[in-house]
Each structure stands twice: as C-alpha cells, then as structure tokens.
Amino acid sequence: MSTRPMGHRSVSFADIYARRGYSAEMTSETHSQPTALPTPEQIRRAPKVLLHDHLDGGLRPGTVVDLARETGYDKLPETDPDKLGVWFREAADSGSLERYLETFAHTCAVMQTRDALVRVAAECAEDLAADGVVYAEVRYAPEQHLEAGLTLEEVVEAVNEGFRQGERRAKANGHRIRVGALLTAMRHAARALEIAELANRYRDSGVVGFDIAGAEAGFPPTRHLDAFEYLKRENNHFTIHAGEAFGLPSIWQALQWCGADRLGHGVRIIDDIEIAEDGSAELGRLASYVRDKRIPLEMCPTSNLQTAAAASYEEHPIGLLRKLHFRLTVNTDNRLMSGTSMSREFEHLVKAFGYSLDDMQWFTVNAMKSAFIPFDERLAMINDVIKPGYAELKAEWLFR
C-alpha cells in the first residue's frame, strides 16, 4: 500500500503536463508516417478490442422506444428516438457518478423479458462489429433483469443467445467479432457470491468473467470478499470497478484484498503520482505496484469526463499514464449515455494527444493481452487479426 495519504485529492493534470513538457502534440515514440495522424475512416477500420462496455448502457435509442412500447413501460422522458438519445447524453453529462447511474433505470426497465435481452445483446454485437471491434467483453448485472419473472439462468442464456446471433449477423455483413460476457454484481446489493457462482457455472458457455459495479463511495469491494475468494479458488477471472470516483483506497482494496485481475477505470491511480520540480515523475508504492505488475486499467475517457473524473480529453490521465508505460486499454463504458463508440474514443485521443496508428495498436494489443479468454486464443487474435490489420492500414500511405 502506498505511504502517501490515500484520500481523494485534487490534481491539476494540465499542470502536470506543463511541468513535464507534455502537450496536446504528444505522439508515439515510433511512427510509420511521422506527420500523419489516422483519419476517422482509418480509425473505424482499425481492429479494436473492448474490455469495458455495459450492455444496459449501449442500447440503440430506437430499441429503447420499441421495447417500452411492447412492454407497456410509460416512464421514458422522450418517445422520439433522436430526442431520447439526446436526453440520455445530457442526463449523464452531470459531473456526478450517482446521477450518471440513474439513467440506467430506463434501459433496465425495458430489458426484463427474454426476447428483449436477446435483441439488445444481438444489436450490441452488431454495432460493435460495425465499428471495427474484433473482440469485446460486455458486462451486465443479471440481478437487474428479474422483474418480469426470469431466473438468473434464463437471463444469462438469453444474453448469450443474443451475442451469438449478433456475431452471425455481423459475419453476414462482412464483419468479424467475438463477444464474451462478464457477469456483474451490484456493490450495494448482497448477491455477489450468487452471481460469482453463476459466472463460474457458465464459464464454458459464453461467460468469461465476473465484475462488481455501482457507486463506489460507501460500498467498498471488500464487502464482497466471499465472492472474490470463491472465484480465486475456482481459478476464474474477475475485474472490479475501482478508482473511478472514490480514489486510491478503492484501488488498493480491489487489488490487495480482493485480488482483481483488472481495474475497471482505475483513473485515480494518478493520485499516487507526484511530479517533481525538475519534471520527473515519482510513483508512490501503489502506483508502482500497478505498473510493475502490469495490471490492466480499463480507461473510459468520455465517461470519465461525464463523471468529473477528468476535466477534458487533453487533461485526462491517460496521456501521462501512457508516457509512464502503465498497461492501459481504451473503452466505451456506456455507448448510449456517452454518445460514443470505440472509434469516437480513439478520435478524441488522436486529437488530444496526437496518437498514431502505432499508439492505437499499442492500446489494442494491451487490451487483447488482458482479455479473459485462453492465452493461445489471445495470441492468435494478436498475431492473426490485430497486427495484420494495423500493418495494412499503416502501409496505405505507400499507395497514395
């Protein structure tokens, strides 16, 4: 554990960048094209890997309207799909994690039947594939989809069926994607062990791991220690939402008490990094541990702006952490609420930091290395899908 105070403190990322000489022009250390940045079209075509995406945070607005009509749900703030999409983004753009989470009441409300879950999951896979995502781990909380009488098992089986449908439809449209499910337990509830056992039961049937989510303050991950101990005994994988809004104590508990394989967000690890007067970075013991152990951080830039974990893309800690060689991944979190996609996330980072296709490949390989599927399958995805895809994009300038 770090010897620094572990409470939340204000950090001026702009000051950090200025003192280290970083700016919006930060670029990769190696470039195939020294002056060329990837275009939006290249970013879309680039193979991408997504580790942190919530199923109930990625519905198409039109699907929300359709399902509300079919199920009789009459509490939507808008019934026009375009206006509803705007409402979700504006409601989520509040600067408060708690307010951000309130938007999920509407999406969860229309995801209470088998047919609804199959549809939402299939569309999720299709949408990600169309955006160039080749591998995704999509998470959801089965306990939030029981109001119409479904069992936990029926929820998991419906979502798995939807993902398989979406994969097939994507393939028919010329896209390739593989989707694994992460089962999430809500940290304010008391069903974590039950959901962990469910994840273990379906680990060979489309479920690749476990997660806990929800507001961090007042609900430390150690409340669910029995679930994590169970998963470790079963040699299963799990990630934990930590260091998004609460700070270093959440990260420390997730790692040292619970044994998380990855950190969901982890953005507040920046609180354990000091910048000296000469511009050098001094990592506290927790930050050093995270970097030295190559613990993956599931960064979600746009979502972090909405919940006030960062002030702007240019000031997002991902820029400094990239320079310090933490194992970073880029993710969407909630595509509906953030009005985003993997391509849009990378577009923002390219604009903010001058990232190249080499940088995009670095983030993507990091994510694939950190996925919860077997090693040989991860290696094949890297060598046979990701690297060839980027090599082709990086060679295009030769033929202009």
Provide the annotated active-site residues.
244
**What sign for the dihedral angle of Cα 141, 146, 152, 153?**
negative
Strand segments, DSSP code E, in 190-245 are 207-213, 238-242
Distance in angstroms (rounded) separating the CA atoms of residues 371 and 296: 10
| Residue 265 token pair | 């967000």
Amino acid at 173: N
| DSSP assignment of 64-124 | HHHHHHHHT----S--SHHHHHHHHHHHHTTS-HHHHHHTHHHHHHT--SHHHHHHHHHHH
The strand pairing partners of 133, in sequence order, are 48
| Residue 34 token pair | 């020294």
Distance in angstroms (rounded) separating the CA atoms of residues 140 and 318: 25
Q: Are 45 and 393 in contact (CB under 8 A)?
A: yes
| Residue 177 token pair | 């994607």
**Closest C-alpha among 351, 358, 359 to residue 24:** 351
